[in-house]
């Protein structure tokens, strides 16, 4: 029987934007994945402060993926009170899905931090790591860094060139703070949700 292929995309999604969605769709197409699960982080070890609480971040992802039957959102990390580590999330999905290859999707900016992740060597064993291009990160430098990481940790990390969108949650939060339009950078439903709940007002 053909093995299922499931993509996992972790992130703070504070808020989710079109950069995340385009990346997910490209990886789905290129690796012929059956589905992609977005996993908003609860209390991320590497980010001191999130602006929107986990309920709102979950809701925004929920709305962003509503129209795509291959995308879904998991509350696995936000349900926990302790810090969320990718290694635990991957173990959870490995248990949940038998006969499935997991693809963990990150941007090039996130993957170069891999040596600092909790149990990084275990993370590489549990999934196929896919690092996608992101504006501001040179693919040549990222490739060199990834080669070093592969040497240290063992395992392989795939790099993928995807259509690049210079969009970040940090920039979007700044726009809502200043009252500058963020239209077309994120789904309209998410934009409306942010305004209705006054999420990024200082
Ligand atoms: P912030 O500015 O708050 O860090 P972000 O835009 O980087 O937000 P995250 O939630 O931190 O979004 O990112 C989740 C994952 O998506 C990370 O692996 C990140 O590298 C990737 N990612 C985010 N935006 C892009 C983008 N525009 N292009 C490619 N990858 C992206
Ligand atoms: Mg980020």
The helix/strand/coil state of 10 is strand
Predicted pLDDT of residue 106: 97
**Residue 198 pLDDT greater than 90, yes or no:** yes
Residue 139 forms part of a structural domain = yes
For ligand 1, the distance from its centroid to the CA atom of residue 91, given in whole angstroms, is 23
**Which of 134, 177, 199 maximizes ligand 1 atoms within 8 Å of its Cβ, making it the mutation to test the pocket?**
134
Residue 155 forms part of a structural domain = yes
Decide: 20 in ligand 1 pocket, CB within 6 A. yes
Compute the distance between CA of residue 174 and CA of residue 161 in angstroms, rounded to an integer. Answer: 28
Closest atom of ligand 1 to 13 CA is: 10
Closest atom of ligand 1 to 164 CA is: 28
Decide: 84 in ligand 1 pocket, CB within 6 A. no
Residue 197 forms part of a structural domain = no
Predicted pLDDT of residue 44: 58
Task: Find the domain containing 71 and state its range.
Answer: 4-166
Residue 125 forms part of a structural domain = yes
Could you read off the pLDDT of 166-180 as tens digits, one per residue?
A: 999 999 999 999 999
Tally of domains within the chain: 1
Decide: 109 in ligand 1 pocket, CB within 6 A. yes
Residue with CA at minimum distance from ligand 1 atom 31 = 107
Beta bridge partners of 7: 36, 103
Residue 175 forms part of a structural domain = no
Could you read off the pLDDT of 105-149 as tens digits, one per residue?
A: 999 999 999 999 999 999 999 999 999 999 999 999 999 999 999
CA 11 to chain centre: 4
**Which of 47, 104, 107 maximizes ligand 1 atoms within 8 Å of its Cβ, making it the mutation to test the pocket?**
107
The DSSP element (H or E) to which 107 belongs, if any, is strand 100-107
Closest atom of ligand 1 to 110 CA is: 20
**Dihedral pair phi/psi, residue 137, rounded to 5°:** -115, 120
Could you read off the pLDDT of 126-138 as tens digits, one per residue?
A: 999 999 999 999 9
Residue 200 forms part of a structural domain = no
Q: Among 23-32, 38-47, 58-67, which is the least confidently predicted range?
A: 38-47
Decide: 26 in ligand 1 pocket, CB within 6 A. no
Decide: 19 in ligand 1 pocket, CB within 6 A. yes
Domain CATH number, residue 65: 3.40.50.620
Residue 173 forms part of a structural domain = no
Residue 184 forms part of a structural domain = no
């Amino acid at each position: 029987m053909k093995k299922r292929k499931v993509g996992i995309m972790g992130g703070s999604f504070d808020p989710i934007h079109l950069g995340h969605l385009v990346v997910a769709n490209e990886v789905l197409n290129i690796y012929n994945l059956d589905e992609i699960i977005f996993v908003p982080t609860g209390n991320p070890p590497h980010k001191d402060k999130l602006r929107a609480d986990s309920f709102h971040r979950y809701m925004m992802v929920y709305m962003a993926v509503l129209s795509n039957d291959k995308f879904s959102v998991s509350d696995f990390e936000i349900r926990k009170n302790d810090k969320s580590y990718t290694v635990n999330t991957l173990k959870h999905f490995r248990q949940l899905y038998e006969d499935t290859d997991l693809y963990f999707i990150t941007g090039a900016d996130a993957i170069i931090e891999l040596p600092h992740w909790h149990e990084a060597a275990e993370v590489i064993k549990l999934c196929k790591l896919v690092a996608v291009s992101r504006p501001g990160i040179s693919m040549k430098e990222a490739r060199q860094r990834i080669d070093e990481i592969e040497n240290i940790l063992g395992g392989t990390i795939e790099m993928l060139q995807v259509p690049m969108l210079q969009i970040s949650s940090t920039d979007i939060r700044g726009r809502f703070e200043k009252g500058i339009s963020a239209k077309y950078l994120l789904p309209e439903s998410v934009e409306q949700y942010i305004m209705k709940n006054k999420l990024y007002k200082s």
